[in-house]
């Protein structure tokens, strides 16, 4: 050990004051107990041999044994290509400028690379303070034997805010992508895992860990997929930092300090964690995943083609007999006007050839038949319902373009900043491709697009067949069955394709602010399906496209308001529940009276009169019992949902609103099926197979949907607790299976709506009940 004395001038101290500088040759794994004052400075000199093929970590640990010192101790570690400095007590700041002192500090030294096979490097630890009082401290420098992580080998360690840890990983030959997993049995304290390039300095404190690289907060689970192409040195650091507060991970927020400079005891914030680096999937898995996805949905195209060939063979056999029947006189059904479609005006859409009073006579009969509500010109109605398709196509273009632009911006921000908390992925099964972080979640939405297109082709085939039947004046096409209007079917197929596109956009960066991208066209689909069910037996009085889309726009508007303002806001839930109940009552009245009522100043007087005459003066049952049963059930369901929302105030308002739409759709669909069977109608084999197949697939789909691999209702760290590994081909997770199954189930549901009344194609319309 050597020592020397120097004379120098420093700050406000008198010129010529002597300060002792003591330099010691120090050794690894030896604890040095010393005292430092403003009059002396100690330098510890270390040397160690490093090799090009092996990296050993060096860790400096410091304990200050006295917490009464007026000034902190400054430790400066001087290396060949780096300098690390820190004070003890180490002051880390939290929210609202809270200050947390730490008297035990441990830091790992950055290891500069070497080109020589063996090289001896020196580094020095300088200890100094401005405190005139002697302060005792302990210093220990040790080697980190497990500094370099091994592939597929778990390593456990302990970290705290003042004792962060980081380790090195080198890509092995033949591995281009790895997934780094950090786990802990402890929810709190909150921690951060970071992936940084091999360079000095390493940012390993709570206040700087987000400066470079990729990072994410975590409680029990954390995972980041790392690609070799992003690290020119073919290696990287895995950094784990424990935060000073738990608020970022959804934990409680500590009290606000009474004085700005008050130091708060953080308590014990040590956390035991383990880290493991595993190879991610290779190119073959990507190819297999894409082929699997394409294969599943192309099989539906093949099945459809096979069925179409069999159906054409059957139709050719029955064509001759149908042609003989179509030669009989059709004058009784030639009431429609002969103008061309180009001469039809929009004002004619909701007009009857009969006088206004005839609507009241026809629509208020106790027993209605489809012929009573299919009296308008077929060409006028056909053009009216085609507007559904053109409107949704226009909406899709104007909606999708800004959505695509926004999610591209989201993904760019994630890639540039490295902040993995922006997007709520299932990080244990998020496979990157190019700039996309979770390609598998995007690919699995292909089914909506492909099956939506297939449904459009099926509808087009039926549309062409029906047009040809009308051209040859086929009796069944003119007089029998449910009137064929395909505009809503085209709109449904387009909505299914757009659901796939927008769901894919949402999964580019799923989070709280863009969840409406994933649900907007779900509302559209639910609304269009209910409209199609109603249109089947009420073609003359179904809502126009403008009215329908205006109502759906209002639903999406409330969805946005609920997401932004609804969380825990009692005033919002009261207003929404009132609107929900009032809308339910108005719609019930519209359906019960087939539109033959008026909402004006005399509505209350008429309500009182009906109650007096039908309930007080004489107790008479409802005239339309079937309709009343449906509407009573619908009101019970909707009032119950409104009460649930008002009491529970669910955080996920968009899903709550979607649940309302789905419950009403299922209720109406079940009522339709029951009434169809009750009326003596039957369900043909194809429709029955579709119903059973769709019900089974929906059951499995909902199982995978409720697995909940992530949730933006919680913090990103809490969301990652729900992350799980891939379950199919090492490429797809539970939510991808939901995408597969739900797209198939929606396609099957559309086929049910398309085919469920095929049994009526030879039944006269004046014998088909309206319900």
**Which residue, 288, 527, 490, 280, is CA-closest to 382?**
490
Find out whether 167 and 148 touch, Cβ atoms under 8 Å: yes
CA distance 587 to 570: 26
Find out whether 249 and 715 touch, Cβ atoms under 8 Å: yes
Pairwise pLDDT comparison (410 vs 53), residue with the higher score: 410
pLDDT at 531: 92
pLDDT at 373: 79
Q: Specify which residues 433 forms β-bridges with.
A: 436
pLDDT at 9: 41
What average pLDDT does this structure show over 605-613? Answer: 67
| pLDDT of residue 7 exceeding 80 | no
Query: With helix as H, strand as E and coil as C, how does 714-768 read?
Result: CCHHHHHCCCCCCCECCCECHHHHHHHHHHHHHHHHHHHHHHCCHHHCCCEHHHC
535 is written with which tokens? 């249109």
Burial environment of residue 402 by CB neighbours within 10 A (0 to 12, 13 to 18, 19 or more): exposed
CA atoms within 13 A on the CB side of 248: 17
What does residue 490 show for φ and ψ, rounded to 5 degrees?
A: -60, -40
**DSSP element (H, E) containing 456:** helix 446-471
Tens digits of per-residue pLDDT, 704-754?
998 888 888 889 999 999 999 999 999 999 999 999 999 999 999 999 999
Q: Could you tell me the maximum CA-CA distance found in the chain, to the nearest angstrom?
A: 126
CA distance 592 to 586: 10
CA distance 683 to 685: 7
Hey, is 447 helix, strand or coil? helix
**Which residue, 212, 234, 184, is CA-closest to 717?**
184
CA distance 667 to 681: 20
Average pLDDT score over the chain: 84
434 is written with which tokens? 């190019």
Pairwise pLDDT comparison (257 vs 422), residue with the higher score: 422
Through-space distance between the first and last CA atoms of the chain, rounded to whole angstroms: 101
635 is written with which tokens? 């009101």
Tens digits of per-residue pLDDT, 466-502?
888 888 888 888 888 888 889 999 999 999 999 999 9
pLDDT at 360: 53
pLDDT class of 329 with cuts at 50, 70, 90: very low
CA distance 333 to 117: 98
Q: Give percent of the chain above pLDDT 90.
A: 41
From residue 36, give the alpha-carbon distance in Å to each of 14, 19, 140, 247, 317.
20, 12, 16, 37, 105
Cis-peptide into 767, omega within 30 deg: no
DSSP letter for each residue of 614-632? IIIIS----S-HHHHHHHH
CA distance 672 to 540: 18
What average pLDDT does this structure show over 286-312? Answer: 92
pLDDT at 725: 93
CA distance 592 to 626: 10
pLDDT at 353: 45
Q: Taking CA 676 as the corner, what is the angle to CA 675 and CA 677, rounded to the nearest 5 degrees?
A: 90
pLDDT class of 595 with cuts at 50, 70, 90: low
pLDDT at 611: 65
| pLDDT of residue 12 exceeding 50 | no
- Pick the most confident of 108-122, 271-285, 564-578: 271-285
CA distance 93 to 99: 5
- Pick the most confident of 40-54, 292-306, 503-517, 565-579: 292-306
Hey, is 194 helix, strand or coil? strand
What average pLDDT does this structure show over 636-647? Answer: 90
Q: Taking CA 116 as the corner, what is the angle to CA 113 and CA 119, rounded to the nearest 5 degrees?
A: 80
**Which residue, 106, 123, 116, 112, is CA-closest to 53?**
116
pLDDT at 268: 87
Phi-psi region of 264 (alpha: psi -120 to 50; beta: other; left: phi over 0): beta
E-strand spans in 147-258? 155-159, 165-170, 177-183, 191-197, 214-218, 221-227, 235-242
Q: Give percent of the chain above pLDDT 70.
A: 85
Q: In order of start, what are the domains of the chain with their CATH numbers?
A: 18-144 (2.60.120.380), 146-251+260-280 (2.60.120.380), 283-309+381-558+683-770 (no CATH)
What average pLDDT does this structure show over 254-265? Answer: 69
pLDDT at 261: 72
Q: Count CB neighbours of 406 within 10 A.
A: 16
| pLDDT of residue 648 exceeding 90 | no
CA distance 221 to 184: 7
CA distance 424 to 614: 57
Sign of CA dihedral 757, 760, 766, 769: negative
pLDDT at 320: 57
Find out whether 246 and 186 touch, Cβ atoms under 8 Å: no
pLDDT at 626: 75
Phi-psi region of 729 (alpha: psi -120 to 50; beta: other; left: phi over 0): left
CA distance 224 to 421: 11
Burial environment of residue 179 by CB neighbours within 10 A (0 to 12, 13 to 18, 19 or more): buried
Q: Count CB neighbours of 98 within 10 A.
A: 20
Hey, is 559 helix, strand or coil? helix
Token pair 């209702």 in the structure block, residue:
713
Q: Indicate the pTM of the whole model.
A: 0.84
Pairwise pLDDT comparison (32 vs 9), residue with the higher score: 32
Pairwise pLDDT comparison (532 vs 9), residue with the higher score: 532
pLDDT at 385: 87
CA distance 403 to 340: 40
Distance of CA 111 to the CA centre of its chain: 41
Token pair 């060939």 in the structure block, residue:
309
What average pLDDT does this structure show over 517-541? Answer: 89
Please state at what angle helix 545-565 crosses helix 378-417, rounded to 10 degrees. Answer: 30
Distance of CA 263 to the CA centre of its chain: 41
81-85, 413-417, 589-593: least confidently modelled range: 589-593
Q: Count CB neighbours of 286 within 10 A.
A: 16
| pLDDT of residue 260 exceeding 80 | no
Phi-psi region of 198 (alpha: psi -120 to 50; beta: other; left: phi over 0): beta
Token pair 């500590």 in the structure block, residue:
254
pLDDT at 624: 67
Pairwise pLDDT comparison (586 vs 722), residue with the higher score: 722
Tens digits of per-residue pLDDT, 126-142?
999 888 888 889 999 99
**Which residue, 274, 282, 281, is CA-closest to 153?**
274
From residue 698, give the alpha-carbon distance in Å to each of 288, 488, 610, 704, 733.
26, 23, 43, 10, 18
CA distance 163 to 60: 10
Find out whether 69 and 126 touch, Cβ atoms under 8 Å: no
Q: Specify which residues 221 forms β-bridges with.
A: 183
86-95, 512-521, 608-617, 747-756: least confidently modelled range: 608-617
CA distance 411 to 464: 44
E-strand spans in 408-501? none
Rg from Cα positions in the chain: 36
Tens digits of per-residue pLDDT, 269-281?
899 999 999 999 9
Tens digits of per-residue pLDDT, 428-471?
999 999 889 899 999 999 999 999 999 999 999 999 988 888 88
CA distance 614 to 482: 34
Distance of CA 709 to the CA centre of its chain: 10
pLDDT at 351: 47
What does residue 274 show for φ and ψ, rounded to 5 degrees?
A: -135, 150
Could you say which DSSP state residue 150 is in? P
Tens digits of per-residue pLDDT, 372-410?
877 887 788 888 888 999 999 999 999 999 999 998 998
- Pick the most confident of 239-243, 353-357, 599-603: 239-243
CA distance 625 to 672: 14
């Amino acid at each position: 050990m050597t020592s020397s004395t120097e004379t120098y001038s420093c700050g406000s101290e008198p010129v010529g004051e002597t300060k002792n500088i003591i330099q010691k040759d120090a050794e690894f794994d030896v604890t040095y107990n010393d005292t430092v004052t403003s009059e002396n400075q100690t330098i510890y000199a270390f040397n160690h041999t490093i090799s090009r093929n092996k990296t050993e970590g060096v860790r400096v640990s410091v304990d200050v044994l006295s917490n009464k010192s007026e000034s902190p101790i400054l430790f400066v570690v001087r290396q060949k290509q780096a300098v690390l400095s820190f004070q003890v007590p180490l002051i880390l700041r939290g929210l609202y400028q809270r200050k947390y002192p730490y008297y035990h500090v441990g830091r790992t030294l950055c290891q500069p690379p070497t080109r020589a096979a063996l090289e001896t490097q020196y580094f020095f630890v300088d200890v100094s303070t401005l405190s005139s009082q002697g302060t005792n401290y302990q210093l220990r420098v040790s080697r980190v034997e497990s500094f370099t992580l091994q592939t597929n080998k778990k390593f456990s360690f302990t970290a705290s805010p003042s004792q962060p840890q980081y380790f090195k990983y080198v890509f092995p030959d033949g591995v281009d992508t790895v997934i780094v997993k950090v786990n802990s049995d402890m929810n709190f304290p909150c921690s951060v895992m970071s992936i940084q390039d091999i360079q000095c300095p390493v940012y390993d404190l709570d206040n700087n860990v987000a400066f470079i690289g990729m990072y994410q907060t975590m409680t029990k689970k954390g995972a980041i997929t790392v690609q070799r192409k992003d690290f020119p040195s073919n290696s990287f650091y895995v950094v784990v930092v424990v935060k000073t507060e738990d608020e970022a991970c959804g934990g409680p927020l500590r009290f606000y300090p009474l004085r700005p400079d008050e130091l708060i005891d953080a308590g014990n914030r040590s956390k035991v964690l383990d880290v493991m680096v595993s190879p991610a999937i290779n190119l073959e898995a990507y190819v297999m995943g894409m082929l699997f996805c394409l294969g599943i949905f192309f099989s539906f195209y093949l099945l459809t083609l096979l069925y179409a060939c069999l159906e054409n063979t059957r139709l050719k056999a029955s064509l001759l007999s149908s042609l003989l029947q179509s030669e009989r006189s059709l004058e009784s059904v030639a009431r429609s006007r002969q103008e061309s479609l180009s001469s039809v005006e929009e004002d004619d859409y909701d007009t009857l050839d009969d006088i206004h009073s005839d609507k009241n006579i026809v629509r208020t009969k106790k027993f209605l038949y489809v012929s009573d509500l299919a009296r308008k010109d077929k060409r006028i109605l056909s053009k009216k319902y085609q507007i559904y398709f053109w409107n949704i196509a226009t909406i899709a273009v104007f909606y999708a373009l800004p959505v695509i632009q926004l999610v591209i911006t989201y993904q760019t921000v994630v890639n540039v900043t490295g902040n993995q908390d922006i997007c709520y992925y299932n990080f244990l099964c998020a496979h990157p491709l190019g700039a996309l972080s979770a390609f598998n979640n995007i690919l699995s939405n292909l089914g909506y697009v492909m099956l939506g297109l297939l449904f459009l082709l099926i509808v087009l085939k039926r549309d062409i067949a029906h047009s040809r039947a009308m051209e040859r004046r086929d009796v069944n096409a003119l007089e029998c069955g449910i009137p064929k209007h395909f505009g809503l079917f085209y709109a449904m197929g387009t909505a299914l394709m757009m659901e796939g596109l927008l769901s894919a956009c949402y999964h580019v960066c799923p989070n709280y602010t863009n969840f409406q991208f994933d649900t907007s066209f779900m509302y559209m689909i639910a609304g269009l399906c209910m409209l199609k069910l109603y249109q089947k037996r009420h073609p003359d009085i179904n809502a126009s496209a403008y009215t329908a889309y205006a109502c759906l726009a209002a639903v999406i508007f409330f969805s946005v308001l609920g997401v932004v303002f609804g969380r825990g806001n009692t005033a919002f839930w009261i207003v929404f529940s009132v609107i929900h109940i009032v809308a339910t009552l108005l719609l019930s009245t519209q359906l019960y009276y087939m539109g033959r009522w008026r909402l004006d100043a005399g509505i209350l007087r008429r309500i009182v009169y009906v109650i007096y005459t039908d309930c007080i003066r004489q107790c008479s049952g409802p005239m339309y019992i079937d309709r009343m049963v449906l509407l009573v059930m619908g009101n019970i369901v909707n009032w119950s949902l409104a009460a649930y929302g008002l009491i529970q105030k669910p955080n996920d308002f968009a899903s709550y609103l979607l649940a309302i739409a789905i419950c009403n759709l299922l209720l109406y669909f079940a009522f339709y099926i029951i009434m169809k069977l009750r009326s003596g109608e039957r369900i043909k084999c194809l429709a029955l197979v579709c119903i059973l197949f769709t019900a089974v697939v929906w059951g499995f789909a909902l199982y995978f949907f409720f697995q909940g691999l992530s949730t933006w209702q919680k913090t990103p760290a809490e969301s990652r607790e729900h992350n799980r590994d891939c379950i199919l081909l090492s490429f797809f997770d539970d939510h991808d299976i939901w995408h597969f199954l739900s797209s198939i189930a929606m396609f099957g549901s559309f086929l049910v709506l398309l085919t469920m009344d095929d049994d009526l194609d030879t039944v006269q319309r004046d014998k088909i009940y309206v319900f």
